[in-house]
Amino acid sequence: MNMDRVKPRTIAVMIGLPHLSDSKLLDRARQLQQPVLISANALSRWSRRRGWREWTGWTTGPLANAAGLHSLCLDSAGFSAMTTYGGYPWTVGDYVRLAAAYPFRWWAALDYCVEHEVAGDRDEILDRISRTIRANIECRLRGEDQDILDSFMPVIQGRLPADYERCADALSGTIERAGLVGVGSMCRRSIHGPEGLMAVVDHLDRVLPRRIRLHLFGVKGEALPYLAAFRHRIASIDSQAYGVAARTAARRDGCVKTDAIVADHMEHWVHAQHARLRQPQRQLPVQIPPIAPAQPDDPWEAAIAEAREQMRELIECGDLDHDETTAPWIEQWAADIYRERMTG
């Protein structure tokens, strides 16, 4: 990972752009000279030729409009893909080809977010961590084939602070090589509490090698005075929160949300984030780490848990694809485990 443009002990504020169309919004991003993040979804091409909305590839023409920006990074659109389409419409190979279509400052691995809207229980969280691990590995391998490994940023996922550590441990070699790791499922997370943003950052600061820095996806601006204490660890944050503010203001004023209005809100948002970073550092009381649920005592429930764990291992090692549908197999797999235990 080329970290030359990230000044040591600073937190870069990245602007999440909804598109790269030649517009007043893009012009303002050039003027502000802040790093920019674009989602793969913003570069997707869709068709209804067969009667339904179908992903048909990438539209890379708008990437030419990125000239003059401070820098451009690429996100895999994991949360949008999961909540809108129920999964990634594109393969790892498709995504890496997009990453190779432009000299992105960095491109993030595909990952499987674990926000409450997507992962409703502990088993689903653990499943998605395993899928994230495998998707990272697949992206790294494809990135090496495309000769863009130097700009690859692995991404870790979790709900508990220890989940992120487990994900980072599984990807330790990749993370060490990159020097920068993305931390997902941040945008809807509370700042405070044992599962809060600060608990995760503090835990990662304790367990990661000193040279590894973090990019925090979608962080709320009010968290910045707390994050300032971790300037040595956090390289950058991003957000597109200004878009929500622009939409709210347009509705309140009874006007159309134009790119010019959004651009004004974006500029205000950027200045507000830098002002927050200049505020005195704030600290939270030490949180007691949450304890992961214990293994079930019931033999059948224990067999279900073991079946899930074995499938996660198969996903992580590549014997099952990262996007493999495994739910229909769980009970049959568990039945075999249960029978072996009862008769063994």
Q: Is residue 76 part of a domain?
A: yes
pLDDT per residue over 221-278, tens digit each? 889 999 999 999 999 999 998 888 888 888 888 888 889 999 999 999 999 999 999 9
Phi first, then psi: what are they for 321, rounded to 5°?
-70, 155
Task: Let me know if residue 1 belongs to a domain.
Answer: no
- Residue 31 carries which side chain, given as an amino acid letter? Q
Q: What pTM value is reported for the model?
A: 0.84
The whole-angstrom separation of Cα 334 and Cα 342 is: 12
- pLDDT score at 7: 47
Amino acid sitting at position 223: A
Task: Give the position of tokens 């030649």.
Answer: 22
236 within 8 A of 106, measured Cβ to Cβ: no
Closest among 192, 207, 187 to 83, alpha carbons compared: 187
pLDDT tens digits for range 185-230 = 898 888 988 899 999 999 999 999 999 999 999 998 889 999 999 9
Q: Are residues 99 and 151 in the same domain?
A: yes
176 and 38 co-located in one domain: yes
The domain tally of the chain equals 2
257 CB contacts (<8 Å, ≥6 apart)? Answer: 246, 247, 250
The verdict on 250 and 268 lying in the same domain is yes
**Residue 185 — φ and ψ, nearest 5°?**
60, 45
Phi, psi of 297 (to 5 degrees): -85, -30
Say if 316 falls within a structural domain: yes
